[in-house]
Each structure stands twice: as structure tokens, then as C-alpha cells.
Amino acid sequence: MLAIGRLAPMQRHVYHDGSNRASQLASMAQFKDGSDTMTEYLWWQTGIIYQIYPRSFMDSDGDGTGDLKGIHSRLDYLEWLRVDAIWLSPVFPSPMADFGYDVANYVDIDPLFGTLADFDRLLQEAHQRGMKVLLDLVPNHSSDEHPWFQESRASRDSAKRDWYIWRDPAPDGGVPNNWHSYFGGSAWAFDETTGQYYLHLFHRKQPDLNWRNPAVRRAIYDAMRFWLDRGVDGFRVDVIWLLLKDEQFRDNPVNPNWKEGDMPGDQYQSVHTADLPEVHEIVREMRQVLDQYAERVMIGEIYLPVPRLMMYYGAAHDEAHLPFNFQLITLPWNARTIREAVDTYEAALPGGGWPNWVLGNHDQHRIASRVGPEQARIAQMLLLTLRGTPTCYYGDEIGMHDVDIPVERIQDPQGKHSPAHSRDPERSPMQWDSSPNAGFTTGVPWLPIADDYVTNNVEAQRDDATSMLALFRRLVDLRRTMPALSIGSQRSIDTSSDEVFAYLREHGNQRVLIILNFGGESQDLDLSSVSVSGRVLCTTYMDSDDNLNLGYLTLRPNEGIAIAV
């Protein structure tokens, strides 16, 4: 066991669920230096998170849409993959205008996905296998079919009127201000019944809740407790940085850089609709709800520049455990940019703040399509060897790529408004095997399946020692068994090539050097300053000799190597 050094005093705390252990705050206190002073790390620090988009993972009943029993039937696979936690995109009752991100009841399961009993079974069995389960909390907006909104819209003096954001028309009868929906068009929808507009930063079927109203806060916190009491291990909180809007409803400034074809939501700078200083009070309150339970995690979906992002850890480590770090998605893919991003992010982390990295999600084109199949292997090695919790998007472990969807088959509301920005391509069904519909469903899949599924699927890659899946498993294995990779420090190493990003992970005497070739040419390197030789742990080619001379090292095109030095 490691020695206790400069560890903050352990705070004992009795949790809601009766357990009693060192508080998360105390045990987080000294992570940044990665030294031997820690006695314990929490599961969400050493673990790997795997995102499941439930509609697309596994269908159990032949209706063409994935469901909870389907996920249940694939627990063997998830256990074999050795991911530590699964995060499920929303499974709550929903009219599915935004595929579950429009919640009509925060405390139940949509019949499309199953029942509460199915959920409890899934949770229980995941726990038995040592896997955590995270849910997606969608607090910014509900569905317009939620009883809260139904009541709110019924009359101007409804008891729930103030649960949503209602405004009179402008003097000319038009929208109250220039706020825009992320899906395109005005964020205001006129409601005939009461002659006012309501705000929706997303679809018009997703009215924004009024987070300035304490009753709204209480209602969502109650919903959180409903799931935490059932044993859920935490939440990924949807658009947490958007929860509050300007109280004076001032217009947003026009974004001078926006051009036709860019994301519709970027047409204005969201200074009055995003990242308001007061939002941190809410994030802190949510965290307090979680902290009543042991070892739960709160992840915030936040698209912001790094300095703003860091604020969501909280001045006293009292906000999100993991404000999602999307830089591997949003930045151009080249060695110099990525190195800079890693260094800047590491330097910007508040003391005690635990890093995290994300390669893909249900809103972004798949990594294999963004950077190509060869670089997708580099990306996977990067994600699984960087310091900080990795989040993997289902299917990326077999290198699934985007699927072209004909315009008339577009499902995504964002894509319906602007086909170029459809998110359907990255939501295609999981490719399990070479049987019809890739083993995903016996019915008609809700989105087309990639046409390479006959050769590119889990079953085929399982038996191929050089496959992406084999690489993924090898990297997971290394991460799980080598403290240098799971909890070690991180330091970039200079090399003579602009195409190469190299870094060292260290813990105690254990040192792992990772060298990634972001280019399609081979690279000759001299890394003898790090070590004269080293033992190869893994290459993205899944071959290679055991020992290397680091003075004369040739990286093959698109090759990544992890070396014990």
C-alpha cells in the first residue's frame, strides 16, 4: 500500500445509503502531482467509461430499436471488454423528438426500452459483474409533453407557469429577442393558448425549464435521488453549462465569423444564453445531491474553451467531478495541436482536478470517419494512454465509421433542419456479427447499418489478433495493470518530428513511453535521452519485436507504440 503523505485530512461522512467512507473531496485532494502520496483512487478515476446509445446497441424484441434487455444480453461482451462503467443515453419516457433528450417523465423507463424492472435487473447484473451504470440527466429542458409543461402552458396563472420561460411577443408581435435554437431557427415558439412565447434552446418540443425557480430545482434533484436510491452510480448531465439564461433577455451578439453551412446554433455568440456565472451555484447544488451517496460521479457535458471549462470543477472541488473534455473531438488532428492541447489542459487543471478525455459521442462524427481508419488506431492508443478518465463511444472499439443516410431517411431533428449537420451517421446500429442486420435486430433497424458489417463486426474482430478490437483490449489491459498508465504522471517529450507526439507516463519506478505517428510517412527518431532501450508493450500494428533501441527508432506510417522504459 502506498504511504499517506500530504493527503488532506480524511473526512468521514455518513452517506444516504448508510455507508461510511472517506469523502470524495478528501480523497481527491492530492492527485495532480501523481506522486506516491495517494492511498486510493476512485473507480471513475482509474476506470474506463463506455457510452451506449441505447437505440443502437442491441434490440431484443425485433422492433428495430435497441432496448434494455438488449443491453442486458450483451453484458458478457462489456465484461469481456473490461470497461468499468456504462453510460446510457436517455431511456426515460419520451415522445422521441430528440430521441430521448426530450423527457416526458424523469422517473420511469420508456416502453420502447423496457420497464423499470428491466432497468433494475440490468443495474443489478452490471453491479454483480463489477460494472457501474451512469444515466443521462437532462435538466435544461423537458418534453413539451411532460405534465409540467402541459400544466404550465394551460394558462398564464397556472401554478407551474413559472417552471418554464415565457415572454410576451415583441411590440411588433414577433419573437422576444434574437436567441437561436441549436437545431436552427428562433429559440422562441409562440403558444396560441396564452399568447406568449416559450423558450427552447433545442427543438420546439424541448421547452427550457426555468432554473431560477427553486421548485424546478427541487423537482430535478428529487429525480436524481430517485435513481441514486435505486443504485445508479452517477449522471452525465446534459448541457449543464446552458442551464441559466440572462434575466434581462438581452440579444446575443452576432458571430462575425459565422458563414452559411456552419452549425446553425453558432450564428450568434451565446453570451447571454450560456455559461452564466450563476450557473455554478446550480452545479454545486447538484453535486451536493450526489455527495449524499458514496462514490457517485457527476460528469458535465460542456463545450467551452479550457479556461472556462476548468471553472466547472468548482473552486472548492464542489462541482462536476469530470467536466467533459472534448478537445480530441473539436481540435484539428495533428501531432502539434494535440500535444499543445494536452500540455495546456494539464497545466490548466486545478489542483485535485482529475482529467478526462473523450474521442466520440452521439453528437459528433465518428473518429474513424474524422481521421481515417489508420489514425483511428492512433486515437485509440492516445485516449487509452493519456492521464485521465477515458470515455469510449460504442462501436469505436471496432472502428465503426459514419453511415451515410439518405436525406429522406434522416431521423435526427438537427439533420432534418440541416442535413449536413445530421447526427444519424454516428448513431448507426452496433455491428455484432455477419448475420442479417449485423446481429443487432431481427426486425427493420431504425437506422441503416454500415454496409461493411459483414467483415467489420465484433465476432470477426474477436478472432483477429491484429484487429482494432484486439488493440483496444490490449490497451485496456495495459491501463488496468500498469499504475503508470492509470494514475501516473504525464509529460510530453520533444522529438525531431512534427508528425510525432511522444509522452511519458510515470509512477514510482514504472515508466511508459508512448510515441504516436500522426502522419502517413515513417519517422526516424532518437529518443535515447529518455532511455537507451525499452520493451514494447503494444503497437498499433499489433506485432513488433520485444526490445527496441531508442537511439535508432523507426516508426512506421500511422504507427503508435507504447514502450516500457
Region binding Mg ion by CB under 5 A among candidate stretches 13-21, 38-46, 66-74, 84-92: 66-74
59 is an active site residue: no
Maximum CA extent, the chain:
77
250, 218 in Cβ contact below 8 A? no
> What minimum distance in Å lies between the beta carbon of 60 and ligand GLC?
24
End-to-end CA distance of the chain: 24
- The whole-angstrom separation of Cα 180 and Cα 189 is 11
Interface with Mg ion (CB under 5 A), residue from 51, 56, 65, 364:
65
Query: What number of chain residues touch Mg ion (CB under 5 A)?
Result: 5
SS3 category, 212:
coil
Q: From ligand GLC, Mg ion, none, which one binds at residue 377 (CB under 5 to 8 Å depending on kind)?
A: none
Please say which residue, 70 or 314, places its beta carbon nearer to Mg ion: 70
Please say which residue, 61 or 145, places its beta carbon nearer to Mg ion: 61
Residue 564 to residues 130, 385, 486, Cα–Cα distance (Å): 29, 13, 14
Q: From Mg ion, ligand GLC, none, which one binds at residue 63 (CB under 5 to 8 Å depending on kind)?
A: Mg ion
> What minimum distance in Å lies between the beta carbon of 414 and ligand GLC?
7
**Which candidate in 84, 98, 208, 238 is catalytic?**
238
SS3 category, 291:
coil
Please say which residue, 144 or 238, places its beta carbon nearer to ligand GLC: 238
**Which candidate in 118, 144, 208, 301 is catalytic?**
301
- The whole-angstrom separation of Cα 107 and Cα 420 is 35
> What minimum distance in Å lies between the beta carbon of 138 and Mg ion?
21
Q: From ligand GLC, Mg ion, none, which one binds at residue 559 (CB under 5 to 8 Å depending on kind)?
A: none
Interface with Mg ion (CB under 5 A), residue from 61, 125, 291, 343:
61
For position 275 contacting ligand GLC by CB under 6 A, the verdict is: no
Please say which residue, 211 or 518, places its beta carbon nearer to ligand GLC: 211
- The whole-angstrom separation of Cα 267 and Cα 179 is 10
Residues 6 or more apart whose CB falls under 8 angstroms from that of 519 comprise 335, 499, 500, 557, 558
For position 424 contacting Mg ion by CB under 5 A, the verdict is: no
Interface with ligand GLC (CB under 6 A), residue from 239, 282, 283, 469:
239
Interface with Mg ion (CB under 5 A), residue from 42, 67, 301, 475:
67
For position 202 contacting ligand GLC by CB under 6 A, the verdict is: yes
> What minimum distance in Å lies between the beta carbon of 530 and ligand GLC?
40
> What minimum distance in Å lies between the beta carbon of 268 and ligand GLC?
17
> What minimum distance in Å lies between the beta carbon of 248 and Mg ion?
46
Between helices 373-385 and 468-481, what is the axis angle to 10°? 10
- The whole-angstrom separation of Cα 525 and Cα 536 is 16
Please say which residue, 69 or 423, places its beta carbon nearer to ligand GLC: 423
Of 472, 423, 463, 424, the closest CA to residue 446 belongs to 424
Strand partners, 393: 51
Give the Cα-Cα-Cα angle 319, 253, 312 (nearest 5 degrees). Answer: 10
151 is an active site residue: no
For position 233 contacting ligand GLC by CB under 6 A, the verdict is: no
Interface with ligand GLC (CB under 6 A), residue from 151, 295, 340, 363:
363
Q: 476-494 burial, b for 16+ CB within 10 Å, e for fewer?
A: bebbeebbbbbbbbbbebe
For position 101 contacting ligand GLC by CB under 6 A, the verdict is: yes
Interface with ligand GLC (CB under 6 A), residue from 68, 88, 103, 138:
138
- The whole-angstrom separation of Cα 310 and Cα 325 is 10
> What minimum distance in Å lies between the beta carbon of 263 and ligand GLC?
12
Residues 67-76: contacts with CB within 8 Å, 24+ apart? 67/112, 67/113, 67/114, 67/118, 68/109, 68/113, 68/114, 68/118, 68/119, 68/122, 69/114, 69/118, 71/122, 72/118, 72/121, 72/122, 72/125, 74/432, 75/122, 75/125, 75/126, 75/129, 75/131
Query: In the complex, which residue's CB is closest to ligand GLC?
Result: 101
Query: Which residues contact Mg ion by CB under 5 A?
Result: 59, 61, 63, 65, 67
Active site residues: 238, 301
Query: Which residues contact ligand GLC by CB under 6 A?
Result: 98, 101, 138, 202, 238-239, 301, 362-363
